[in-house]
Amino acid sequence: MAELELDQLVNVVLRRVADRLGQTPDRSRDEWQPALLVAGNWKMNAPGGGAGEALVEFASHLALAPQTGVDTLVFPPATLISSVRSALAGAGASTEVGSQDLHWEPSGAHTGEVSADLVLAAGATWTLVGHSERRAAGETHDQVKAKLHRAVASGLSAVLCVGEGLDDRTNGSTFRVLRVQVQTALAGLALRGVTPGRMAIAYEPVWAIGTGRVAEPAQIDEACAFIRTVAGEEFGAAWASRLRVLYGGSVTEESAADILAIDQVGGLLVGGASLSPKRFAAIVEAGAARAQNLSAQGGGS
Ligand code: 13P
C-alpha cells in the first residue's frame, strides 16, 4: 500500500476513535473548557531592549495582574528565553515562555536555527509555528507541518498561526486558505495523542497584523469557528470544542475585552502591545474579567 494511502487510512480510523471518545457521556462541555490563553509575541524586540531590569519590570507587572481563569505566555527572541523565564519565576508569575520558531530536525548542520530540545533546555514550554512573518520569508505548508509535529513529539506545546492575506480576503479565498493551512499542519497529529490544552491555533489575518486594523467581530467569529471545524476533522468534534482558537492582529488594551467577548475566541496573540508591561498586563486583566464573566454564566456564552 502506498504511504499516502496508509496515512489517509490511519487518519480515518483515528478520527472515528476521536469521535467515539467525544461521545463519552457525563462530561458536559463546560467541565472541559480550558482557561483563556493570553500570549505575547515580542518578535525581534524586547521590553527595554531586553535589559535585565526591563525584564524584571515586565515580570513584576505581570505577576500583579489578576490571572484567574487565564493562562499567560510570552514568546521572546530565542536568546532571551532563559532570562525571561528567570525573571518571571523571580517575580512569582505563572506565565510560561515559548520560542517563536523551531527547526523540524532534532539537531544537525542547520546554521542559525534552534531545535525543540534547545529551546526546552532554555526553559521554553511552548513554541509558535507558522507565523505569517515566517511564511512570508518562504516557510512552506509542509515545513509548518513538520515543525508542529516535531514540537509535539518533543513535548513542547504549540500555537499554530494561520491567516489569510488581504488579496485572499478580497477575492473570496479566506476559507480556502485557512483550510489548507490548518488541514496540512494538523494532518496525522491525532496519532501523537496531543491534548487540546497543549495546542492552540491563532487566527491572525495578515492584513490586521501591525496595521492598527482589527478584523470585524463577525469576521473573527466565523473564521475561528471554521478553524475549529477543520481541526475537528482531524481530532474529532469533542477535542475541537476544547481547542483554544486565539485572535491576533493589532490587539490593544482598548480592543481586548471586545475581542474576548466573541463567542469562538479562546484567547489572544498580541504583538506590539505585549512589549509594554502595563499594556500587556491590562490585556491579561481583560482576559481575567472575561473568564470571570464566563464562569458566572456557567462556562459558555
Ligand atoms: P500586532 O499585535 O503587532 O498586530 O502583531 C500580531 C502578531 O503578529 C502576533 O503574533
Domains and CATH numbers, the chain: 33-296 (3.20.20.70)
pLDDT of residue 20: 47
Given a cut of 80, whether residue 299 has pLDDT beyond it is no
Query: Which ligand 1 atom lies nearest to the CA of residue 209?
Result: 4
pLDDT of residue 113: 97
- The pocket around ligand 1, CB under 6 angstroms, is made up of 41, 131, 204, 209-210, 248-251, 269-272
Query: What percent of the chain has a predicted confidence (pLDDT) above 70?
Result: 88
pLDDT of residue 228: 97
Q: How far apart are CA 166 and CA 292, in angstroms?
A: 35
pLDDT of residue 14: 54
Longest dimension (CA), the chain: 59
Please tell me the distance between residue 248's alpha carbon and the centre of ligand 1 in angstroms. 6
Given a cut of 90, whether residue 300 has pLDDT beyond it is no
What's the residue count for the chain? 301
Q: Each residue of 262-283: pLDDT tens digit?
A: 999 999 999 999 999 999 999 9
Query: Which ligand 1 atom lies nearest to the CA of residue 210?
Result: 4
pLDDT of residue 223: 98
Q: Each residue of 213-249: pLDDT tens digit?
A: 999 999 999 999 999 999 999 999 999 999 999 999 9
Mutate to test the pocket of ligand 1, among 270, 276, 279 (most ligand atoms within 8 A of CB): 270
What residues does 94 pair with on adjacent strands?
A: none
Query: Which ligand 1 atom lies nearest to the CA of residue 273?
Result: 2
Q: Each residue of 104-152: pLDDT tens digit?
A: 999 999 999 999 999 999 999 999 999 999 999 999 999 999 999 999 9
Which DSSP symbol is given to 255?
A: T
Query: Residues 6 or more apart from 183 whose CB is under 8 A from it?
Result: 230, 233, 234
Angle at 103 between CA 118 and CA 266, to 5 degrees: 90
Please tell me the distance between residue 210's alpha carbon and the centre of ligand 1 in angstroms. 6
Mean pLDDT score, 96-109: 98
